[in-house]
Chain A
Amino acid sequence: MSNRASSAGGIVIAALGVAALIGVPYVVELFTLVDVAVYCILSILALSLAFVWGYAGILSFGQSAFFGLGGYAYAMAVINLGESTVPVLAGILVPMIFAALLGYFMIYGRVSDVYLAVITLTVSLILYHLINSTSGPEYTIGRARLGGHNGVPGLPPINVPGNASAPLDYADTFRLSLGALLLVYFTLRAVIASRFGRVLVAIRENELRAELLGYDSRRYKLMAFTLGAGIAGFAGVLFASWGSFIGPSVFGIAFAAQVIVWILVGGLGTLGGAVVGTVLIQYLTTWLGQTKALPAMLGLSKIDPSLVLGIVLILFVLLVPSGILPTLRKLLRSRQAAASA
């Protein structure tokens, strides 16, 4: 995309985003507002992987682990402190520190891309089993119980900074989630357009050449990995606050794979694609869980959304391998070229 087209697209997205921030709570019902809020939160998680994988070339298969760490860090801190300002920061910093340590050993150890994907997924699964085995009352951090497979329910929502007696309501949570999504999206756009981002793209394209030009690829990749973990952690905080709950399933393989599917469906190497893929797949999953017409038509008692997700992924890999957004852009370019010829 040309710089001018990209800037115009950014202005349109920003304008739509601000309009939605202001107007949507007045025109949609509460249930929809809650749904849209979680789409926004999950889109932030998808953006973190879109950046780490699509621009830094690091396939962090266990990106959802940072989401979970963020959620748990928030849960433990907010239960103990009763006010959300520090817990929100903890939910961002804990995954970042964890990612910096893990990434240091992987990236400075020159672990290859495939093994890096395997290691991140394995770490996520280790956390899954670790958290699952903390059901007993002895597993507490301060006043907060880890809760094992039952998770941590009854979390206080995010409040107005410094004022625990002013928690956000559903409309505020929606505004916070959409605002955070816009903030993360435009921040990542700026990062990618910066010198740091362009070097990351160069490293993704050819790590050897980047190093032969004098760039320390490991430092750049570690910074991107850590930043991505911070964003995923932030999404985890919002998720825990949104549902007043965090559970070990966020560390599970199903959730980890789901994030990968969002990116592949939306289009790797784009930020917008991550949001489109997340919203589309999540909407489809929700709809499949609610509809009775489709199972009845197929003569089934119900449809397993995971099965449908698998079929969707296979169809995309076979028919739209570059994902929705890159395919649409390509079609648009070819139509423009045909029109100007």
Chain B
Amino acid sequence: MSGQILETRGLSKRFGGVPAVDGVDFRLAEGELRCLIGPNGAGKSTFFKMITGQLRPSGGRVLFRGEDVTGEERHLLAKRGIGIKTQVPSLFDGISVRESLYLAARRFHSPREALRIVDGILAETGLHAVAERRVGELAHGQRQWVELGMVLAREPLLMLLDEPTAGMTPDETAHTAALIGKLRQQRAIIVVEHDMQFVRMIAEGVTVFHQGRILMEAPISEVLGDPRVREVYLGAHSERHA
């Protein structure tokens, strides 16, 4: 396995004294795909927000490709190659799908290259039919795709996907799984997901968050069979999801 693309050391975030993320040591190798699972409030999204500069950590460090990037500005982290699809789609509602993708691609590419990337993403995501429509007019599943497309357009080295299939149909979910499978060949990806079927489709390594800490890190089959995970995360849903 190659070097680490992302490492956190004792990463913490407190809100008014309450720890949301509590001393997390996490490592992700170049080209690795990892799923983060855990119950609501386990600290997964807060963890993502600290990595992307949306929140300043209360303690600990974030290292990207070996460099300390703790507390760095959001646009600088994006420039380094970190892209995120947020839990609730964060989009430019008032402008068209094509222009949204173009703006994402154009940030780090020439106009010609950006147009090529946009055409590729429109074809890949099936958004061609709605390319000229304003993002605010789209259905939830399509909005998820637009945001995913915008993250892809930037061609990041590390992609953070926070519940990428929320609100998607089973077909769209399967399509997303296939896309992530293809993407992982070129970049490292971390996916936060509650849908265990989806996690099974895409992941080998899984990190379980619980109360702001890492409960365990193991292959998906091992995680799902672990009684601690079943107790803290799957709980009453274990029979349905496992």
> Complex: how many Å from CA A11 to CA B86?
42
Q: Could you say which of A202, A204, A212 has the most chain B C-beta atoms within 10 Å of its C-beta? A: A212
Q: Is the CB of A213 within 8 A of B104?
A: yes
Q: Is the CB of B93 within 8 A of A206?
A: yes
Q: Is the CB of B84 within 8 A of A212?
A: yes
Q: In the complex, how many angstroms separate the beta carbon of B51 from the nearest chain A beta carbon?
A: 11
Across the interface, which residues of A come within 8 angstroms of B74, CB to CB?
A: 208, 211-212
Across the interface, which residues of A come within 8 angstroms of B93, CB to CB?
A: 205-206
Q: Is the CB of A205 within 8 A of B154?
A: no
> Complex: how many Å from CA A202 to CA B93?
9
B75 touches which one: A201, A205, A211 (CB < 8 A)? Answer: A211
Across the interface, which residues of A come within 8 angstroms of B83, CB to CB?
A: 212-213
Across the interface, which residues of A come within 8 angstroms of B63, CB to CB?
A: none
Is B150 an interface residue, CB under 8 A from the partner?
yes
A205 touches which one: B52, B84, B95 (CB < 8 A)? Answer: B95
Q: Which residues from 213 to 230 on chain A have a C-beta closer than 8 Å to any C-beta of chain B?
A: 213-217
Q: In the complex, how many angstroms separate the beta carbon of A191 from the nearest chain B beta carbon?
A: 16
- Number of A-B residue pairs, CB cutoff 8 Å, is 62
A202 touches which one: B78, B92, B154 (CB < 8 A)? Answer: B92
B154 touches which one: A195, A198, A211, A214 (CB < 8 A)? Answer: A214
Given A202-B95, A214-B78, A215-B75, the answer on whether A209 and B90 have CB atoms closer than 8 Å is yes
B92 and chain A: residue at smallest CB distance:
A205
Is A199 an interface residue, CB under 8 A from the partner?
yes
Q: Could you say which of B79, B83, B92, B150 has the most chain A C-beta atoms within 10 Å of its C-beta? A: B92
Given A208-B90, A209-B91, A209-B92, the answer on whether A202 and B103 have CB atoms closer than 8 Å is yes
Across the interface, which residues of B come within 8 angstroms of A198, CB to CB?
A: 95, 99, 103
Across the interface, which residues of B come within 8 angstroms of A195, CB to CB?
A: 106
> Complex: how many Å from CA A195 to CA B52?
25
B105 and chain A: residue at smallest CB distance:
A213
Interface residues contributed by chain B, number (CB under 8 Å): 25
Across the interface, which residues of B come within 8 angstroms of A214, CB to CB?
A: 75, 78-79, 107-108, 154
Given A198-B99, A216-B75, the answer on whether A206 and B154 have CB atoms closer than 8 Å is no
Given A195-B106, A206-B90, A208-B90, the answer on whether A213 and B78 have CB atoms closer than 8 Å is yes
Across the interface, which residues of B come within 8 angstroms of A206, CB to CB?
A: 90-93
Across the interface, which residues of A come within 8 angstroms of B86, CB to CB?
A: 212
> Complex: how many Å from CA A202 to CA B101?
11
> Complex: how many Å from CA A199 to CA B54?
20
Across the interface, which residues of B come within 8 angstroms of A213, CB to CB?
A: 78, 83, 103-104, 107, 150, 154
> Complex: how many Å from CA A195 to CA B108?
13
Is B120 an interface residue, CB under 8 A from the partner?
no
Is B219 an interface residue, CB under 8 A from the partner?
no
> Complex: how many Å from CA A81 to CA B59?
60
> Complex: how many Å from CA A206 to CA B187?
26
Across the interface, which residues of A come within 8 angstroms of B106, CB to CB?
A: 195
> Complex: how many Å from CA A76 to CA B37?
67
> Complex: how many Å from CA A211 to CA B78?
8
Is B94 an interface residue, CB under 8 A from the partner?
yes
Q: Could you say which of B74, B79, B100 has the most chain A C-beta atoms within 10 Å of its C-beta? A: B74
Contact with B along A36-79 (1 / 0, CB 8 A): 00000000000000000000000000000000000000000000
Across the interface, which residues of A come within 8 angstroms of B100, CB to CB?
A: 202
> Complex: how many Å from CA A338 to CA B108?
43
Q: In the complex, how many angstroms separate the beta carbon of B166 from the nearest chain A beta carbon?
A: 17
Across the interface, which residues of A come within 8 angstroms of B104, CB to CB?
A: 213
Q: Is the CB of B90 within 8 A of A201?
A: no
26 contacts between A and B (CB under 8 A): A202-B95, A202-B100, A202-B103, A205-B92, A205-B94, A205-B95, A206-B90, A206-B91, A208-B74, A209-B91, A209-B92, A210-B92, A211-B73, A211-B75, A212-B54, A212-B78, A212-B86, A212-B90, A213-B83, A213-B104, A213-B150, A213-B154, A214-B75, A214-B78, A216-B73, A217-B75
6 closest pairs, A vs B, by CB?
A214-B78, A205-B92, A211-B74, A209-B90, A214-B107, A216-B75
Q: Hey, which bits of chain B sit against chain A, CB under 8 A?
A: 52, 54, 73-75, 78-79, 83-84, 86, 90-95, 99-100, 103-104, 106-108, 150, 154
Q: Hey, which bits of chain A sit against chain B, CB under 8 A?
A: 195, 198-199, 201-202, 204-206, 208-217
Given contacts A198-B103, A210-B92, A213-B150, 19 further A-B contacts (CB under 8 A): A198-B95, A202-B92, A202-B95, A208-B54, A209-B90, A210-B103, A211-B75, A212-B54, A212-B78, A212-B83, A213-B104, A213-B154, A214-B75, A214-B107, A214-B108, A215-B75, A215-B107, A216-B73, A216-B75
